[in-house]
Amino acid sequence: MVETLPVGRFQLQQHRLELKRWAPAFLSSHKTLFTVLWIAAFASVFLWQRNIVGGGFSIFGKAGPGRPMPKTRPFALNLTDFGAVGDGVTVNTAAFERAVLAISKLGKRGGAQLNVPPGKWLTAPFNLTSHMTLFLAEDAEILGIEDERQWPLMPPLPSYGYGREHHGPRYGSLIHGQNLKDVVITGHNGTINGQGQSWWKKYRQKLLNHTRGPLVQIMWSSDIVISNITLRDSPFWTFHPYDCKNVTVRNVTILAPIFEAPNTDGIDPDSCDDVVIEDCYISVGDDAIAIKSGWDQYGISYGRPSRNILIRNLIVRSMCWRINRQRDVWWGI
């Protein structure tokens, strides 16, 4: 008599036999295994970076609409109270200047926070003041005006002697500050957008008579914090702290096209002490980070090397990554 197996047991044994034949062949194929792992890793990084760019440095994406802006100073002022209109067309330079002037009068009382609500806030360059927090709400975007005639001219940096691209004066930065203390630029991943496309085009066509300006430049200042915002499409270097002390850049996204966005360095500490740069995503058309101390005899004469700089936990996508030596002046950590 022939013993017959129940259908379920017979199918189970058949599956086991097929698995035994298939598994060694699959596992022995290193190429197949590597391909599967590579695809999984690539997908994970892609999804992570998409969340970074789309919703700040967070795996949870964007916050819900109407997220309240926290109060970080004794006083909180709203940009709209000074006549600003966030339609992307109205020029709001005067509104920013009036707001900063009001904050400057509150310095002895702990300073104030300037809230920039959702909207597109077109402006020419403006200055910050001490004991100030510039807070950009989610979906708030400060737009730099594209007409270079609205950008003020400034003397060359003393450790450079002349502009990097032209002799004589240089354009100032969209957001600027000198001789300040206790300045914070932060938010719910709002954006400061230099609208650099027109600048890059004019630079390539040699239509500019002065060196392009950075997006954010803070000079001769201390206790500076930039966090939880996006900086994008700078005309030139993106964030340039110059001869500053105690600078922190944390959870910042910096964006510019990889190609045809000349000199859009991410972060350039220049003759700075005690700097921390961490947990940032930087994708730009030149150096992600370039540590500087002026150049040539001007940098040597100025005599302020960059010191005590900590850089960690970055995602970088750029034309180059370097800690470099330029002529006679060392850039280094």
Query: 147: Cβ–Cβ under 8 A, 6 or more apart, which residues?
Result: none
Query: If phi over 0 gives left and psi between -120 and 50 gives alpha, with beta otherwise, what is residue 331?
Result: beta
- Look at residue 153 and tell me whether its pLDDT is greater than 80: yes
Task: Give the residue with greater pLDDT, 324 vs 247.
Answer: 247
Please say if 328 is a catalytic residue: no
Percentage of the chain with pLDDT > 70? 76
State residue 24's pLDDT score.
Answer: 53
Q: What is the mean pLDDT of residues 61-88?
A: 85
Positive or negative, the CA dihedral 138, 287, 315, 226 is negative
Neighbours of 239 (CB within 10 A): 28
Indicate which residue of 81, 286, 296, 328 is catalytic: 286
Neighbours of 206 (CB within 10 A): 8
Q: What is the mean pLDDT of residues 290-304?
A: 93
- Confidence class for position 323, pLDDT limits 50, 70, 90: very low
For residue 249, the cross-strand partners are 226, 277
29-33, 95-99, 276-280: least confidently modelled range: 29-33
State residue 64's pLDDT score.
Answer: 43
CB-CB contact of 130 with 153 (8 Å): no
d(CA 110, CA 72): 10
- Look at residue 326 and tell me whether its pLDDT is greater than 80: no
* Tokens standing for residue 141: 């975007």
Neighbours of 179 (CB within 10 A): 10
The residue type of 209 is N
- Confidence class for position 163, pLDDT limits 50, 70, 90: confident
Instruction: Measure the CA dihedral 70/67/175/105, to 10°.
Output: -30
Neighbours of 88 (CB within 10 A): 11
CB-hemisphere CA count at 13 Å for 255? 16
- Look at residue 60 and tell me whether its pLDDT is greater than 80: no
- Confidence class for position 115, pLDDT limits 50, 70, 90: very high
d(CA 135, CA 318): 28
- Confidence class for position 29, pLDDT limits 50, 70, 90: low
CB-hemisphere CA count at 13 Å for 168? 8
Query: 77: Cβ–Cβ under 8 A, 6 or more apart, which residues?
Result: 99, 102, 103, 112, 113, 114, 115
- Look at residue 22 and tell me whether its pLDDT is greater than 90: no
For residue 240, the cross-strand partners are 217
**Chain segment 188-239, per-residue pLDDT in tens:** 999 999 999 999 999 999 999 999 999 999 999 999 999 999 999 999 999 9
- Look at residue 260 and tell me whether its pLDDT is greater than 70: yes
Q: What's the whole-number average pLDDT of the chain?
A: 84
CATH superfamily of 75-321: Single-stranded right-handed beta-helix, Pectin lyase-like (2.160.20.10)
* Tokens standing for residue 329: 């002046």
Instruction: Quickly list H helices, 134-276.
Output: 197-204
- Look at residue 42 and tell me whether its pLDDT is greater than 70: no
The phi and psi torsions of 54 (rounded to 5 degrees) equal -85, -25
- Look at residue 104 and tell me whether its pLDDT is greater than 60: yes
The domain locations on the chain are: 75-321
State residue 167's pLDDT score.
Answer: 87
- Confidence class for position 67, pLDDT limits 50, 70, 90: confident
Q: What is the mean pLDDT of residues 146-168?
A: 90
